[in-house]
Structure 1
């Protein structure tokens, strides 16, 4: 949601600092959940958003005018969790949360752990 006047962020901290104050706590919480759940993931900026990579792209976070977004980077995974996501705003493979909304921490952890397993399986299949 960066407006003009901000340089392209180089780190997740810079990205979060550039967002409106009401979005920062949710972004920090998402970042903390990702780093705690995927300690071997590397954090970088990709497509001007904080992204996390473990073997391959894992997940990402960002904002738009109304929401903080959690990018699962896997539409099939989102479809398979349709029932668990029924109370969450979803578009494609992205979950959206308003800044005042409580995050479904266990569900976010489940998604991250599933993405880790998917990336490990993909890495194994490419070694053969």
Structure 2
């Protein structure tokens, strides 16, 4: 990635190494299609989508894209780990050669959207 700070999600993706772009474009499309009212932008120098608070986001690492969401449950984390994804408390690492776990991410986005709505 270049050292200029991106102003948009599109700039962030286009400044990233080519092997990471497809994952980030797919994540962005998945977030937007799962919660169409979410607003995307750059916060903390990474793409973040907001819907009644922070919904989800992603960042770039050397060999993977990290998808972050507060609603990542132990059950979904376990399912993802069985499928070969490395997870953290609130993150899913998607290596450049892995397929995005769409079903699980859609579930998480839906859950986070409902949690955020209940806080308003």
Whether TM-score is above 0.5 comes out as: yes
SS in 1 for 2:42: strand
Query: Which is greater in Rg?
Result: 1
Structure 2 unaligned residues grouped into runs of 5+: none
Say yes or no: does 1:99 pair with 2:90: no
Find the partner of 2:61 among 55, 64, 86: 64
SS in 1 for 2:73: helix
In 2: Cα distance, 1:82 partner to 1:51 partner: 21
Per the TM alignment, residue 79 of structure 1 is displaced from its structure 2 partner at its CA by 2.3
Cα deviations by residue, 1:81-122 (Å, 9 ceiling, x for unpaired): 233222321122110011111111111100100000110111
> 1:11 corresponds to which residue?
8
In 2: Cα distance, 1:14 partner to 1:82 partner: 30
> 1:126 corresponds to which residue?
none
Per the TM alignment, residue 78 of structure 1 is displaced from its structure 2 partner at its CA by 3.0
Question: What is the RMSD of the two structures over their aligned residues, measured on CA atoms?
Answer: 1.3
In 2: Cα distance, 1:63 partner to 1:82 partner: 20
In 2: Cα distance, 1:46 partner to 1:113 partner: 21
Per the TM alignment, residue 15 of structure 1 is displaced from its structure 2 partner at its CA by 0.2
Say yes or no: does 1:114 pair with 2:81: no
Q: Which sits farther off after the overlay, 83-92 or 21-30?
A: 83-92
Q: TM-score, normalised by structure 1?
A: 0.86
Number of residues paired by the alignment? 118
SS in 2 for 1:82: helix
